[in-house]
Structure formats: structure tokens, C-alpha cells
Amino acid sequence: MKNCVIFCAGDFRRLAEPLVETDFVIAADGGLKHLSFLGVQPDAVLGDFDSLGYVPEGARVYPVEKDDTDAMLAIRLGLEQGCDRFMIYGGLDGDRVDHTVANFQALRFLEQRNARGYLLGLTQAATVIENRRITFPQNQRGILSVFCMGDRARGVTLRGLKYNLEDGTLEGGLPLGVSNQFVGEKAEISVKNGCLLLIWQREWLDIR
């Protein structure tokens, strides 16, 4: 898989994995400050720059009044570059809850285009799965919450967790999957028909 690593303006604690030369690195508006701190030169800088407060030289500049968020602009650019795995830092713990929700929807946008997306914040990570499964290693710890994105998700199976489920249904209007827990076993979450948002406490990113 070809990685696109996007840095947004929100906070994050540390990188989940080292940046490598083949990564396509994008600074979305205020995310440029993170790359400056890391001493990393991005492959692209874009946004309306209302967060950063100035326009960097060579940046792709967009108007404030636009349909896409800066994160979505970065995602579209990454897809144009042939990327199919997206690590999005600073898109989970910002000052704007509406932008966080927008980023959850952006994860589904990626999923529907056969790409994998991960939001990485200070203490949590998030991803979306649709009609597929995902596994966590047995050394994963902490809380995992599973939410239905849409009206209904059918054929939902949760294994290796404190609260397991076999071929069940989650409703979009009932947060039944909140606050599950890893128990030191390999965990598997799958859905046959529908879309799930997963949010977990992160120390690293080791999922399949």
C-alpha cells in the first residue's frame, strides 16, 4: 500500500510509525506547524490558511468559502497520487468538533474508494470499516467503541473483547457499542452489510 500522511491543525502526541521516503506527506493548513517541529519537508502544503495565519511559499491556496475542508482537500490530493493508506494526524483532537465529525465522514469517503484511513489524536485513533473485518493484536489494551455509521449495520461480529457479539445488528440511533474493552486476546471486528466507526485508545497502530 502507498501511504499518504496528512498533518492537520489539531493535536497529536507522537507518530504511530516512522515516516519513510516513499510516504506522500501533506500539510493541511495549520498542520504545517507539526512538520516544522518534526523537521520534515512536506511534499505538498495546501489549505485556506485561516488556521496557520499566513500563506507559505509554494502552497496550494484555496478560498475559505469552499465545499471541502482542508483535510478533504488533502485526501483528494493523496488519492490523485495513487495513495491507498492514509494516516491523518491532528484530525481528531482539535478545537472544532464539527471538523472531527467531518473527518469521520472522510474516513468513510476513503473506505468507499478502497483506501484505508486512520485518524490519530492525542490518546485515541479512529477508522471506518464497511463490509469487511479488522483485527487488533493481543497486546492491545484499553477501550474500543464501535458505532454504526448509517441507519443499520448487519452481520456485526465482535470477538476477543470484553463484550462479544456474533452476527448482530447495530442501529444508527442507538450507541450500543460504546466502551467495549480489549482483554489481552487477538480481537476481530467485522460487518457483513454496513459501515462501522471504530474509536480506540492508541499507543501504536498495529491493525490488519
Which whole number is the average pLDDT over 123-144? 94
Strand residues in 65-207 grouped as ranges (E): 85-89, 116-120, 124-130, 133-136, 143-148, 152-159, 165-171, 180-181, 187-190, 195-201
Nearest-angstrom CA–CA distance, 35 and 156:
39
What CA–CA distances, in Å, run from 132 to 50, 63, 128, 154, 155? 38, 37, 10, 12, 10
- Predicted local distance difference test score (pLDDT) of residue 208: 60
Report whether 124 contacts 202 (CB < 8 A).
yes
Lowest mean per-residue pLDDT among 2-6, 51-55, 58-62, 81-85? 51-55
Higher-confidence residue of 174 and 65: namely 174
Q: In the predicted model, is pLDDT for residue 22 greater than 80?
A: yes
Report whether 111 contacts 128 (CB < 8 A).
yes
Q: Which of 36, 67, 72 is nearest to 54 (CA)?
A: 36
Per-chain mean pLDDT for the chain: 93
- Predicted local distance difference test score (pLDDT) of residue 53: 82
Report whether 187 contacts 161 (CB < 8 A).
yes
Per-residue pLDDT band at 159 (split at 50, 70, 90):
very high
For residue 26, what is its C-alpha cell?
501533506
Nearest-angstrom CA–CA distance, 122 and 125:
8
- Predicted local distance difference test score (pLDDT) of residue 66: 86
> pLDDT of 65-116, one tens digit each?
888 999 999 999 999 999 999 999 998 887 789 989 999 999 999 999 999 9
Overall pTM > 0.85: yes
Domains of the chain: 3-122 (3.40.50.10240), 129-201 (2.60.120.320)
Q: Which of 142, 155, 145 is nearest to 198 (CA)?
A: 145
CA angle 141, 145, 149 (to 5 degrees): 145
Grid coordinates 474508494 are at which residue? 113
Nearest-angstrom CA–CA distance, 128 and 88:
13
Q: In the predicted model, is pLDDT for residue 205 greater than 70?
A: no
